[in-house]
Amino acid sequence: TLSVAGCSLIGSTPAPRLLASSAPLPTPYTVPLPIPALAKPYRSDASADYYELVQRAAEVEILPGLRTPIWGYGGQFPGPTIRARAGRRTVVRVANGLGAPTVTHLHGGHTPPESDGYPTDLVQPGARRDYVFPLEQRAATLWYHDHRMDYTGPQVWRGLAGFFLVGDAEESALPLPSGERDVPLMICDRSFAADGTMPYPARDGGPGAREAFMGGVLGDVILVNGAPWPRLGVDRARYRLRLLNGSNARTYELALPPGGTLTQIGSDGGLLAAPRTLERVRLAPGERADVVVDFAAYRVGDHVELRNLLEEGAQARVMRFTVERDARDDSAIPATLSRVEPLDPAKATVTRDFQFTSGDLHGHTGWMINGKPFDARRVDAKPRLGDIEIWRLTSDVAHPVHLHLAGFQVLSVGGERPSGPAEWKDTVELREAQTVEIITRFTGYRGRYVLHCHNLEHEDMAMMSTFEVV
């Protein structure tokens, strides 16, 4: 009941496939924006907070009047938001109440290897596992999601993702918008069959089925916090919007046209050194940007649309704010937010090359790093604990590349130094035929982690590599 449109296979580098919905879709900006509930610890002691998230199947109303089966942490999509403190141990017990194995990864977490969600560390149906997050890291907007080898795309599509917000003393001391004016926004796309289900292409659908969506899966409905093109009423005041691209394969260039400004204060790895005023924020899958929007620049009654400049029509729409009332605002955006010490390339012990290309995967076309598909039995790099390294990433088509464990700084894009001061990232978009050099330091833990493409279909079709910190 879903139709597939979009670009055809071009050589061995297919473009993403757009799935067209057959369900009746709501008028944009009629459904209220949901805010995912905060998870509550079931126990806290002097050193840690303990949470339990049960992964289960549920039916939720996403399109008005239709029931959509999902898989969700807590039976919700997005899952409950965990708010944690840097340096305070957070233990998340994930109980698998689904009919398939799962793996949970805290994206952006500085996590010991046994809790990082290595793609073959499965939690079987009926089993549970305690993921331990020491959170020896800066305040940042993180998220958790499924990471099961070969099945991350479908399992995230079904709903296995949620926010994990880390705060710290440095950030709390700043007068940034907080409370109800600190709003996490998970943006992702889905398509809906007439019965409300969100089908995902079957990989065993016959000859060519796999190749047909190996470029990535796109939906035609843009969801924010699980609601289609929602609306949010706001005060004439500053809001902190924690933008997360939780899509499988879609990239956004978010803006408030005409002429609205977004003041970026944070990136994947937490606060920037100083705020930066932007007309648009580009986010590839997995990337985050914390921005402040000052709705006092508008009048009561104004509608402010958040749009994706990369598309036209319905997919260009994301959500809409309506300025509802005057209100007191004690927030401010300080000119200095944090200190971001640039890593020194002269201190790097090695430069490693990673080439992101397509190639042969067991007789099908798949995605490779340095010509090899993911294999959990193989280690492709062994950085030493404490070392600074430069990783040179090269692509044929666009790939959002994500590194586990270690935040990094971008040294060069296409041979040019990025403008502006250093910032901490964990996911970087390689544009078509581009080389990006990143610099990172491996701290905290020895063990096995992955580097992979965060286009989830590329990841599932093997664009992932293991490194082991030794």
First to last CA, the chain: 50
Q: Which one, of 465, 453, 466, 467, lies nearest residue 214 by Cα?
A: 453
Q: Binds 181, which of Cu ion, ligand C2O, none (CB < 5 to 8 A, cut-off by type)?
A: none
Q: How far is the CB of 97 from Cu ion (least distance, A)?
A: 31
Q: Binds 452, which of Cu ion, ligand C2O, none (CB < 5 to 8 A, cut-off by type)?
A: ligand C2O
Q: Does 109 bind ligand C2O (CB under 6 A)?
A: no
Q: Does 404 bind ligand C2O (CB under 6 A)?
A: yes
Pairing of strands 238-245, 227-228: unpaired
The residue among 142 and 368 lying less far from Cu ion, judged by its C-beta, is 368
Cβ–Cβ under 8 Å, residues 36 and 78 = yes
Q: How far is the CB of 367 from ligand C2O (least distance, A)?
A: 14
Q: How far is the CB of 383 from ligand C2O (least distance, A)?
A: 17
Q: Binds 107, which of Cu ion, ligand C2O, none (CB < 5 to 8 A, cut-off by type)?
A: ligand C2O
* Binding region for ligand C2O (CB under 6 A) out of 6-14, 58-66, 314-322, 446-454: 446-454
Q: Does 454 bind ligand C2O (CB under 6 A)?
A: yes
The alpha carbon of 314 is separated from its chain's Cα centroid by a whole number of angstroms, namely 22
Q: How far is the CB of 165 from ligand C2O (least distance, A)?
A: 15
Q: Binds 458, which of ligand C2O, Cu ion, none (CB < 5 to 8 A, cut-off by type)?
A: Cu ion
8-state DSSP, 246: -
Question: Rounded to whole angstroms, how far apart are CA atoms 104 and 82?
Answer: 14
> Which of 18, 62, 104, 105: binder of ligand C2O (CB under 6 A)?
105
* Binding region for ligand C2O (CB under 6 A) out of 234-242, 268-276, 315-323, 449-457: 449-457
Cβ–Cβ under 8 Å, residues 456 and 156 = yes
Kindly determine how many residues on this chain lie close enough to bind ligand C2O according to the rule CB under 6 A.
10
Q: Binds 138, which of Cu ion, ligand C2O, none (CB < 5 to 8 A, cut-off by type)?
A: none
Residue 144 tokens read as: 């958790």
Q: How far is the CB of 285 from Cu ion (least distance, A)?
A: 9
Pairing of strands 48-60, 43-44: antiparallel
Q: Does 250 bind ligand C2O (CB under 6 A)?
A: no
Q: Which one, of 212, 208, 204, 94, lies nearest residue 150 by Cα?
A: 204
Residue with tokens 């993921």: 131
3-state secondary structure of 161: strand
204 Cβ contact partners less than 8 Å away, ≥ 6 residues apart:
none
Strands laid side by side in the 303-308 sheet = 231-236, 317-326, 303-308, 252-255, 281-283
Measured at the alpha carbon of residue 133, what is the angle toward residues 129 and 136, in degrees to the nearest 5? 170
The residue among 248 and 267 lying less far from Cu ion, judged by its C-beta, is 248
8-state DSSP, 419: S
Q: What is the phi/psi pair of residue 345, to 5°? A: -60, -25
Q: Does 17 bind ligand C2O (CB under 6 A)?
A: no
Residues near Cu ion (CB under 5 A) are: 399, 453, 455, 458
The residue among 49 and 459 lying less far from ligand C2O, judged by its C-beta, is 459
Binding site for ligand C2O (CB under 6 A): 105, 107, 145, 147, 286, 402, 404, 450, 452, 454
